[in-house]
Each structure stands twice: as C-alpha cells, then as structure tokens.
Structure 1
Amino acid sequence: MELDDAILNRTSVRYFEEKNVPEEHVRALVEAAVRAPTASGLENWKFVVFMSENVRERLYNLIAEGMIRYYRAVNLPDEKIEKLKKRMYESGMYRAPVYVAVFIDRRVRFLPGEEFDEPEFIWSIESAAMAIQNLMLKAVELGLGTVYIGVTNFPGIEEEVRELAGLDGNHYLVGVIPVGYPKGEVKPRKRRKTLDEVLVFI
C-alpha cells in the first residue's frame, strides 16, 4: 500500500466486527507508533493494550460515560443523549476487540526546572500524538479501523483508565484508540475546509 492510500483512506471507525485482532497485528501497530518523532529522543510513551474481555468491558463503560458527559457539556437535548446511549449499548458504537491506551510518563524529561514544565509536557503530548497517527496509518495498511477517543481524559475517568492500566499518577493519558475490523463499508469523509483556507505561504 502506498502512503497516500493510507493517508486518504484513514477515517474514524466507530463500529467493529466481533472478530479478534491477531497479536502480531497489534505489535505491528505499536512498532509503527514508536517510529514517530519523539521530543529530545525521550521515548517517554507507554502503550497499554486492553484485549481481555473483562478490562475491555470496563474501559468501554468509561468511554460511554465520557461520551455522555461530553454531550451534556455541549447542551445536547436529553432525547439525543438517549439516542447516543442506544447507539452505544445496543448497537455497539466504540465497542472493539482491542483498545490501545497511550500514556506519557511526565517524570521522563530533558530540561530541568519548573520553568520548562509546560513545554516539556506539550512536547511529550505532541510526541504521543505523532505516534498515534503512525499507529492509525499502519492500521489502514492491515485492514483495521481506528478512532481517537479523548473523552477518557475527563476528571475521574482518566484516573480509572490509568488504574486499569496499572500505572501511577505520573502517567498522563493522551488518548484511547479502539482497534478492530470495520463493520460495514468505510467511507473517508471530505474535509470541510479547502487547502487554500488552511494554508499560508509567507
């Protein structure tokens, strides 16, 4: 597969087949992830893969809680929130055979001193985000679907995800990535803005 094909065919997949993903595919995803740029060469990321049924179910419920909290925050009417719950719990939206939680270890840094706390944190987040993109592009090559979940960062939810992962408070959750074989046809969405609207030459 050409890189352009992977880039143009990557899209957010929210429904997955009830089909296991081979462990070698999961390893290939993380191998691709750790080839991403990493600020100061720190490689201070941690990839926790949830594959067993019990922890996947617990994580799924945390995702559902986060989604409901998200839509309440944007004042979505109760009837639409109920439809969301139905899509999740009855139709299995975001229910996947694999979840990859991506963390950074905030203790691992290059520059000493509190004055550099914020840039060090931002650089670590950027490194993890680039790793996630590599993972998602590799997934396309392997015929897998992915979607980025950020609502697991809400207070109370992040702590529970971290606990599920067996990590301490020094670790920050960058995102959770459901992974699986897409259910139904995958159709990448067009971007709302044109290239000329977001591109500036100086």
Structure 2
Amino acid sequence: MELDEAIMKRSSVRYFLEKPVPEDDIKKLIEAAIRAPTASGLENWKFVVFQSEDAREKIYDLIGEGMVQYYRAVNLPEEKIEKLKKRIYELGMYRAPVYIAVFIDKRVRFLKGAEYDEPEFIWSVESAAMAIQNLMLKAVELGLGTVYIGVTNFRGIEEKVRDLASLDENYYLVGVIPVGYPKNEPKPSKRKKGVEDVTKFI
C-alpha cells in the first residue's frame, strides 16, 4: 500500500468485530510508532497494550465514563446523552479487542531547569502524537481500524488508566487507541477546510 493511500483511507473507526488482533500485528503497529520523530531523541514514550478481557472491560468502562463527561461538558441535552450512552453500552461503540494507551515519561528530558518544563512537556506530547499517527497509518495497511480517544485524560479517569497500566504519576497519558477489525467498511470523512483555507505562504 502506498503512503498516500493509507493517509486517504484512514478514518476513525468506532465499531469493531469481535475478532482478536494477532500479537505480531500489534508489534508491527508499535514498531511503526517508534519510527516517528522524537524530540531530542529521547524516545520517552510508553505503549501499554490492554488485551486481557478484564483489562479491556475496565478501559471500555472508563472510555464510556469519559464520553458522558464530555457530552455534559458541551451541554448536550440529557435525552441525547442517553441515546449516545445506548450506542456505547448497548451497541458497543469503542468496544475493541485491543486498546493501546500511549504515555510519556515526564522525568525523561533534555533541558534542565523549571523554565523549560513547559516546552519539554509539549515536545514530549508532540512526539507521542506523531507516534500515534504512525501507528494509525500502519493499522490501515494491516486492515485494522483505530480511533483516538482523548476523554480518558479527564481528571479522575487518567489516574485510573495509569493504575491499570501499573505506572506512577511520572507518566502522562497522551491518549488511548482502540484497535481492531472494522465492523463496517470505513468511510473517511471529508475535511471542512481545504489546503487553501489553512495555508499561508510568506
């Protein structure tokens, strides 16, 4: 598969088949992820794969909890929230055979001193985000679907994900990626803005 095809075919997949993902393919995803650029060459990312039934169920519940919190934060009416909760808990939205949580180790840094805390943190998150994109593009090549979950970063939820990963507070969760075979044919959405809308030449 050409890179351009993978980029154009990638879409957010929210419903997955109940079909295991081979461990070799999971390793291929992470191998692609760690080929991403990393600030100062630190490679201070950590990929935690949740694949046991118990761990997956707990992560799934935390995603559901985070989504409901998100819906309330954007002031959706309660009746609409109930419909969305049905999609999650009854229809299995975001229920996947594998979840990959991507963390950064905040202790690993290049520049010392409190004045560099913010840029070091931002660079680390950016490095992990680029790794996630590599992972997602590799997933397209392997016939797998992915979706980025950010609501697991809400206070009270991130800590629980970290506990499930057996990591301490030195680790920051950048995102959780459900991975699996798409239940339906992925349909990449059109972008609202074109190149000319978001580009400025000087």
TM-score by length of 2: 1.00
Q: Does 1:194 align with 2:175?
A: no
Flag structure 1 segments of 5+ consecutive residues without an equivalent.
Answer: none
- How far apart, CA to CA, are the structure 2 residues paired with 1:148 and 1:88? 15
- Cross-structure match for 1:16: 16
Cross-structure match for 2:146: 146
Give unmatched runs, 5+ long, in structure 2. Answer: none
Partners in 1 of 2:7 and 2:194 — Cα distance?
17
Deviation string 1:55-89 (CA, Å, 9 cap, x unpaired) is 10001000000000000001000011000110001
Q: Supply the AA of the counterpart residue of 1:167.
A: L
Q: How many residues are aligned here?
A: 202
Question: 1:85-140: CA deviations, max 9, x gaps?
Answer: 10001110000000000000000000000000000000000000000000000000
Q: How far, CA to CA, are the matches of 1:127 and 1:55 in structure 2?
A: 26
Which residue is equivalent to 2:183? 183
The separation in 2 between residues aligned to 1:40 and 1:186, in whole angstroms, is 36
Structure 1 runs (4+) deviating above 3 angstroms are: none
Alpha-carbon deviations, 1:138-177, whole Å to 9, x = none?
A: 0000000000000000000000000000000000000000
Secondary structure of residue in 2 paired with 1:183: coil
CA RMSD of aligned residues (A): 0.3
Query: What SS does structure 2 have at the residue aligned with 1:96?
Result: coil
> 1:60-75 alignment to 2 at 5 Å?
60-75=60-75
* Pair 1:84 & 2:93 matched: no
Q: Counterpart of 2:5? A: 5
Q: Say which SS state the counterpart of residue 179 (structure 1) adopts.
A: strand
Alignment of 1:120-159 (within 5 A): 120-159=120-159
Is the counterpart of residue 44 in structure 1 residue 44 in structure 2? yes
User: What's the offset of the Cα at 1:184?
Assistant: 1.1
Amino acid at match of 2:42: L
**In 1, Cα distance between equivalents of 2:89 and 2:63:** 11
Tell me the equivalent position of 1:30: 30
SS at match of 1:178: strand
Letter in 2 for 1:158: E
Structure 2 counterpart of 1:43, one-letter code: E
Q: Structure 2: how far apart are the matches of 1:76 and 1:34?
A: 38
TM-score (normalised: structure 1): 1.00
Distance 2:148 2:185 in 1: 19
Number of the residue aligned with 1:99 = 99
Query: CA–CA distance in 1 between the matches of 2:165 and 2:186?
Result: 30
2 CA distance for matches of 1:166 and 1:84?
Answer: 31
Q: What is the 5 A alignment of 1:156-175? A: 156-175=156-175
CA separation in 1, counterparts of 2:195 and 2:109? 36
Letter matched to residue 48 of structure 1:
V
